Amino acid sequence: MILIKLGGSVITNKGKPLSPRRKSIDKIVRTLKKINEPIVIVHGGGSYGHYWSIKYDMHAKPAKYSTHGVSVVKNSMIELNKIILDSFLKNKLNPYCLPPTDFISGNKPITKKIKMIEKIARSGFIPVTYGDALWYGQKKSFILSGDRIMSVLATILKPRLSIFVINVDGLYSNIKTKKLIRELKGRKPLISKSSKDVTGGMNRKVDEAIKISKKDMNVFFVNGNKPERIIDAINRKKFHGTLFRG
Ligand code: IPE
């Protein structure tokens, strides 16, 4: 099984509120058709979820955020999710929409439900879930990132590969010269902070990728603007991106 996260900066234009990148979405979805094993999809919030989370000052840490804000973020994620699902259907794939509340309670994974996701994937559907605003309990809520969902699912489902589809070629050792780190194991490199991201941007992505790789599974970062690289990674061909070796 393969776990794939479609990053918000690939499926939306992060510089412009509420703007999907429909062509990129379609191109990636058409590429996913070439995969001959069960896949599970997670997508991020991009200029939908992140846009509203920033407006309502909501973060990954559980706190008493605006209830209206939670509703608005949730609604925007459904809107973006619908665009993704429509693209799957248009391309004759069978998505199975699973909001994260289906398998996460508070901030705890529901193992039984997560194991069901694998069964759903093995019966011909493509489970699709996404980062979201969630109720935490005691009037608190929090933003659950798609990156965090990746490590939650990977821990229980043990996919052969976890792929983070992002808007750049991979992890750079130097952002200015765009020198790509092709492979790393265990240790986290120094990463410059991105300011606008409520769930921690690249930093969070790398944390979750390392968490997964430390559990003995390979993780790839690949550029979603070149979707054929996803297929190359899956087929163990010459690979362009960053590999976090498990
Ligand atoms: C964010 O998910 C979800 C919300 C803000 C509601 P991610 O943090 O995984 O989104 P991207 O991929 O970075 O945009």
State the pLDDT at residue 174.
77
Q: By alpha-carbon position, which residue is closest to atom 10 of ligand 1?
A: 44
How remote is the CA of residue 16 from the centroid of ligand 1, in Å?
Answer: 15
pLDDT of residue 200: 67
Q: Whose CA is nearest to atom 4 of ligand 1?
A: 49
- Tokens for 98, please give them: 């699973």
For ligand 1, atom 8, name the residue with the nearest CA.
145
Residue 208 in contact with ligand 1 by CB distance below 6 A: no
User: Which ligand 1 atom sits nearest the alpha carbon of residue 77?
Assistant: 6
Measured in angstroms, how far is the CA atom of residue 21 from the centroid of ligand 1?
15
Instruction: Looking at the CA of residue 204, tell me the nearest atom of ligand 1.
Output: 8
pLDDT in tens, the chain (246 residues): 999 999 999 999 988 999 999 999 999 999 999 999 999 999 999 999 999 999 999 999 999 999 999 999 999 999 999 999 999 999 999 999 999 999 999 999 999 999 999 999 999 999 999 999 999 999 999 999 999 999 999 999 999 999 999 999 999 887 778 888 999 887 777 666 555 566 667 888 899 999 999 999 999 999 999 999 999 999 977 789 999 998
* Span from the CA of 107 to the centroid of ligand 1 (angstroms): 16
Instruction: Summarize pLDDT for 154-196 with one digit per residue, the tens.
Output: 999 999 999 999 999 999 887 778 888 999 887 777 666 555 5
Q: Is the CB of 147 under 6 A from ligand 1?
A: yes
Alpha carbon of 80 to ligand 1 centroid (Å): 11
State whether the beta carbon of 199 lies less than 6 angstroms from ligand 1.
yes
